[in-house]
Amino acid sequence: MNKTLLIIKREYLSRVRKRSFILMSILGPLIMATVGITAIYLSLDEPENQHILVIDENYPLFENLDGGDLVKFDVQDISVDDAFAALKSGEYTGLLHINKKYYTNHSGSFYFKKQPSFRVQRKIEQIVQQRGEILKLGEFNISESDYKRIKTPFEMATFKFDSISNDAQETDITPGLVGFGFSILIYMFIFMYSVQVMRGVIEEKSNRVIEVIISSVKPFQLMTGKIIGIAAVGLTQFLLWTILTFTLVGGAQYALLSSKYSGNDVSRQMNMTTELKQSMAAETPEALTSMSDQNNLFTQLKRVNFPLMLGMFLFYFVGGYLLYSAMMAAVGSAVDNDTDTQQFILPITFPLLLSYVASFVIFSNPNSPIAVWMSIIPFTSPVTMMVRIAFGIESGDMWQVWLSMFLLVATFITMIWIASKVYRTGILMYGKKASFKEMIKWLKY
Amino acid sequence: MAAILSVTNISKSFGEFVALDNVSLAIESGSILGLLGPNGAGKTTLIRILTGITGPDSGSVNLFEHNHKVTRISYLPEERGLYKSMKVWEQALYLTQLKGLSRIEATTNLKLWFDKFQMSEWLNKPVDSLSKGMQQRLQFVITVASKPDLLILDEPFSGFDPVNADIIKNEILALSECGVTIVLSTHNMSSVEQLCTHICLVNRGKIMINNHLSEVRSQYGKNQFELTFQGSTVAFANALGHRFELVSLATKNEIHSAQIKTHGPHSANELLRALLPYVELKSLKEHSPSMNDIFLEVVNEVQLESTPHE
């Protein structure tokens, strides 16, 4: 068998078999799935009917407040103490207190035993607001039909215009979020696994197994074998995370939906967004815009080009990893133990850290000069380009992607070449205080 | 005899430090070459060049074919270690396969050696559960299991108790009988005397001696005598004159034993003639220097020579 393959196999198997790897592979998806399942659970938990006691200190200002299907109002003119007693007795799910100053401050207090969803809270606000508006119509002598005509909702959909294809696509923040998620993942994976390369090199050096091995294989074979083997570990972990997370979330979603709701309810739940939107559109325009943001998440997610994102993730993870792990291998070869690595790790990983921080900025403005430059420079491109790609890149700017990819490949090849020169000298050096200056000298040996 | 590996005019420096200075050496096929030299003499650098771990700055390294096959080198470094968390058998198989053996070949060879060294019960133990001596044994087995044509051993006996060191010595001799060429780098001079056919002494990046062990001995054994006598030591010293030099003198039970060095080619007869009138001689023999003596002599000579320049 080819010697490099043997090394890859050992590096891979010795890590995949480790208890920590198996634990990470299970814990990672568990944590992610818990978050996902909780989100689903919370979103399903809403339709519990709300029965709300309203203390109206301006009674009967809000008499016969109509809350529709979900919310039932019971408007009474009682003291606050009595109202709390009633809430305590269990008849009501919540208590809305609108005090005397309503006319000036337009506010009230809501007490609950179990927190209603954000959506229910908004709905209560909207119903009260609407009632307030209708009441005021009388003051200004406007008929209700006039009022409905006066109210002029305005909704603005945003489109990204592509000057080349004359095509326009609706923009949204969701793909950017997905890209952001991917860039964090890339940051994490590059960091985790390039440090593993360094640790592996240090282990071989401090174990003194290195000389035995390089008498049978070339240092370059050992270094690349280690880098590739660990990359395979990273990809395995990523694959396991993806599969396990989706299986867990999917399974839990199915279990939750089928146990809690009948089929009809499920479909109703799914359609609720549109129903709600329609019913509200007639009533209040503000509601519409605020609702569309949160409730279209699933439809927005569908618009993310996942195959492209996954492909790009793999490319930029592998490219960025090769670049950084080559540097880490050089560092590992230069030092005698883990504690000596501190002075090197910070300067080396600084661009990575910078790109992670910058990706927050890029997220809000994916085509700013800093975003463009950082996504082209190979040391920062793996993390930052993911965000830009997720937002979609104009075909006129495609050259930036190609340039970024080309530069990344060219840089990691150069870096591996340089690192192998430092490495082959470094692994045989003991007791020498390593420095960048020293490492540059080794290039010439 | 034909050389299996030779280096010609190789030099190697690390920055300012010259580790090897224009060194040439041919390793004869089938020999056991003792590579000697004080610490920092350049032995490890020379070995690393022989094994191809590093390349020389200048000069050439020639590895000759052995039985029309590419010569296989196996190297046991002085600073040797193993992957601590790997299991014994996995590790042995991995390192043997890395030397270019197929899985089947490696398995067969290793089984043989594991049986021979009674290590078969350890197969599934992690390496760090083995004692140091056991790890050393495992390393030796891994080194020889690849059936090398040229075996380079750097301090192979360190870490072994005398019993195990003897076992290793016998295995080295047995391998040599099977035609394996061996380079043995060690500070253990008695083992050099027991095992080596050839000697190569390196000091300060240069080869000081490179010859058959017997030649080296006779070369350095010349002109030295050991004798015991009774009588006056003053008279004895006077009798030596300027032709002979007293190297050492010890007295026990009124019998003096002395070591004499001659300046120039003076025979034992001449020495006898000079001494007989003054003291009563008990014994006289030509001194056969130990490797230890030769080593010290050569290394000290160089130091004395170079001291004024420094």
Burial class, A325, CB count within 10 angstroms (exposed 0-12 / middle 13-18 / buried 19+): buried
- Provide the greatest CA pair distance for chain B: 76
Minimum mean pLDDT range among A104-108, A414-418, B128-132, B196-200: A104-108
Domains and CATH numbers, chain A: 50-150 (3.40.190.10), 172-255+305-442 (no CATH)
Residue B78: strand, helix, or coil? coil
User: Would you state the pLDDT for residue A225?
Assistant: 94
Say if residue A247's pLDDT is above 50.
yes
pLDDT at A279 over 50: no
Residue numbers in A near B74 (CB within 8 A): 215
In the prediction, which pLDDT does A200 show?
Answer: 92
- Helix, strand, coil shares of chain A, percent, nearest 5, are 70, 5, 20
Which helix (H) or strand (E) is B241 found in, with range?
none
Of A6, A204, A214, the CB nearest to B97: A6
Which DSSP letter does residue A189 get?
H
* Least confident segment among A136-145, A420-429, B197-206: A136-145
Percent of chain A with pLDDT over 90: 21
pLDDT at A215: 85
Contact between B85 and B128 under an 8 Å Cβ cutoff? The reply is: yes
pLDDT truncated to tens, each residue of chain B (310 aa)? Answer: 688 888 899 998 887 888 888 889 988 888 999 998 888 888 888 998 988 888 888 888 888 776 666 778 899 988 788 888 889 999 999 999 998 889 999 999 999 999 988 888 888 888 888 888 888 889 999 999 988 889 999 988 887 888 888 989 999 999 999 989 999 998 888 888 888 899 898 888 888 888 888 777 777 766 778 888 888 888 888 888 878 888 888 888 888 888 888 777 777 788 888 888 888 888 888 777 777 877 887 777 766 665 544 3
Nearest by CB to residue A211, choosing from B80, B85, B142, is B80
Three-state secondary structure call for residue B86: coil
Which of B49, B50, B53, B58 has the most A C-beta neighbours within 10 Å, making it the best mutation to test the interface with A? B53
Residues of B in contact with A203 (CB under 8 A): 83
Tell me the chain A residues in contact with residue B85 when contact means C-beta distances shorter than 8 Å: 14
User: Is the minimum CB–CB distance between B247 and chain A shorter than 8 Å?
Assistant: no
* Residue A213 at interface with chain B, using a CB cutoff of 8 Å: yes
Cα separation, B115 vs B39, in Å, equals 36
Residues 6+ apart with CB under 8 A from A406: none
Q: What is the pLDDT of residue B310?
A: 37
Contact A207 B81 (CB under 8 A): yes
Residue for token digits 């568990």? A30
Helix locations, A261-284, DSSP H: 263-283
Length reported for chain B? 310
The pLDDT, as a whole number, for residue A287 is: 41
How is A374-390 classified by DSSP, letter by letter? HHHSTTTHHHHHHHHHH
Question: What is the three-class DSSP state of A107?
Answer: coil
The angle that helices A3-16 and B88-98 make with each other, rounded to 10 degrees, is 160
CB neighbour list of residue A395: distance below 8 Å, 6 or more residues apart: A162, A164, A165
Q: What pLDDT does residue A284 have?
A: 45
- Supply B139's token pair: 């390393």
Own/partner pairs, B170-178, CB within 8 angstroms, 24+ separation: B171/B140, B171/B144, B172/B32, B175/B144, B175/B151, B176/B30, B176/B32
User: In 10 A of CB A282, how many CB atoms?
Assistant: 10
Please choose, from the candidates A333, A220, A200, A216, the residue with its C-alpha nearest in 3D space to the C-alpha of residue B76. Answer: A216
- ipTM surpasses 0.90: no
Strand order in the sheet with B17-28: B17-28, B3-14, B58-63
pLDDT digit string (tens) for A363-408?
878 888 888 899 999 999 999 988 888 877 777 788 899 999 999 9
pLDDT on residue A129: 85
pLDDT for A274: 47
Min Cα separation A209/chain B (Å): 4
Structure-token match 């993806």, residue found: A242
Residue A60, preceding peptide bond in cis (omega within 30° of 0)? yes
What distance in Å separates residue A353's CA from the closest CA in chain B? 33
User: What distance in Å separates the CA atoms of residue A86 and residue A211, rounded to the nearest whole number?
Assistant: 82
- Convert the pLDDT of each residue in A427-438 to its tens digit: 888 777 777 887
Per-residue buried b or exposed e for B10-49, using 16+ beta carbons within 10 Å of the residue's own CB: bebbeeeebbbeebebbbbbbbbbbbbbbeebbbbbbbbb
B53: chain A residues, CB-CB within 8 Å: 211, 214-215, 428
Task: Give the chain B residue nearest A200 (alpha carbons).
Answer: B83
- A51 in contact with chain B, both atoms CB, cutoff 8 A: no
The rounded percent of chain A whose pLDDT value lies above 70 is 82
Q: Find out whether A83 and A76 touch, Cβ atoms under 8 Å.
A: yes
- pLDDT given for residue A59 in this prediction: 77
How far is the alpha carbon of B276 from chain A, nearest alpha carbon, in Å? 60
* A208 contacts chain B (CB < 8 A): yes
- pLDDT value of residue A410: 96
Per the prediction, chain A carries an average pLDDT of 80
Q: Could you tell me which of A29, A31, A49, A33 has the C-alpha nearest to residue A256? A: A33
Q: Which residue of B has its CA nearest to A205?
A: B81
Q: Is B256 in contact with B249 (CB distance < 8 Å)?
A: yes
Domains of chain B are 3-218 (3.40.50.300), 223-291 (3.30.70.1150)
Do residues A21 and B113 lie in contact, with contact meaning Cβ atoms separated by under 8 Å? no
Q: How far apart are CA A329 and CA B202, in angstroms?
A: 34
Q: Measure Cα distances from B107 to A214, A238, A243, B101 in Å.
A: 21, 35, 38, 9
Structural contact between residues A294 and A276, judged by C-beta atoms closer than 8 angstroms: no
The two tokens of residue A323 are: 């670049």
More confident residue, A174 or B127: B127
Helix and strand numbers, DSSP H then E, in chain B: 10, 13
Question: Which has the higher per-residue pLDDT, A1 or B223?
Answer: B223
CB A132 within 8 A of CB A119: no
Residue from the list A208, A209, A214 with its beta carbon closest to the beta carbon of B53? A214
- Are B75 and A211 a contacting pair at CB < 8 A? yes
The answer to whether the beta carbons of residues B146 and B109 sit under 8 Å apart is yes
Q: What is the rounded distance in angstroms from the CA atom of residue A344 to the CA atom of residue A202?
A: 14
Q: Which residue of B has its CA nearest to A206?
A: B81
Q: Does residue A286 surpass a pLDDT of 70?
A: no
